[in-house]
Amino acid sequence: MFLASVLLAFCSLITSGQPLVVAHRGYWRTEGSAQNSITSLQKAAQAGCWGSEFDVWLTADGVPVVFHDATIDGIRIEDTTFATLMNHRLQNGEFIPTLQQYLHEATRWPLCRLILEVKPHRNAKRDASISELAVELVETMGLASRTDYISFSKDACKRLHELAPEAKVAYLNGDLTPLQVKEMGLTGIDYSAATFDKHPEWPLEAKKLGLEVNVWTVDGEEELRRFGAMKGIDIITTNDPDILIKTLGNKK
């Protein structure tokens, strides 16, 4: 019954032409959750989000982990072994999940799309390494058909597109025009709300080029309504997915 109700809500959004809802770092603004935790993925799926976004880093010994910041408790993830990192906990008490653990949990929630952000690493070689490991794990876990990739790193975006040419790959940094992103072979722009306020013509330009348009991170009912009504926006990434789902449902 629960899966059927979520599927019905998802289909209603698709057919209505309204933006799709992505939980930023999972649905973490709720009891018992934390950013990029396993619980945040579960909560996003349970709330009926179209997708859940999460961030991936590579440890010094080559283990992909799900975490947002470059450091935790003053320790830089890129310079830390997983054996050391695994002793640190998230705000809800969970251990930092490996990408493999996160993807394993994702297999239990087939209606929630995965938006995998490759964080910019120290250099292009590291960007390539984490991109290769991420795509390999996604494919091994059987999740390629419902995983999209995003990054602020041009090198990572290019490598992700090479590794997974059928996957959606979007650029985050906001310093390229839609045409420049299209010429890179990518499938979308995933830009901040401030970028689209500065370049309000870009969403429609992107649509004409066949690019998907995502805006981040939009919070609060007023801003969610504003971007929900903006022409050319396909997806809204928010820390308030519950409010956005309600707002879209009440939209006349």
Residue-averaged pLDDT of the chain: 93
- Residue 31: count other Cβ atoms within 10 Å of its Cβ: 7
Chain segment 34-66, per-residue pLDDT in tens? 999 999 999 999 999 999 999 999 999 999 999
Query: Residue 28 belongs to what domain range?
Result: 20-250
Q: Which pLDDT value is given to residue 177?
A: 98
15 in a structural domain: no
For the stretch 106-125, pLDDT in tens is 999 999 999 999 999 999 99
pLDDT, mean of residues 202-206: 98
pLDDT band at residue 1 using 50, 70 and 90 as cut-offs: very low
**pTM of the entire predicted model:** 0.93
Instruction: Average the pLDDT over 161-172 and give the result.
Output: 98
What mean pLDDT do residues 195-202 have? 98
Number of folded domains that form the chain: 1
| CATH code of residue 227 | 3.20.20.190
In a domain? residue 1: no
pLDDT of residue 17: 77
pLDDT of residue 9: 46
- Residue 11 included in any domain: no
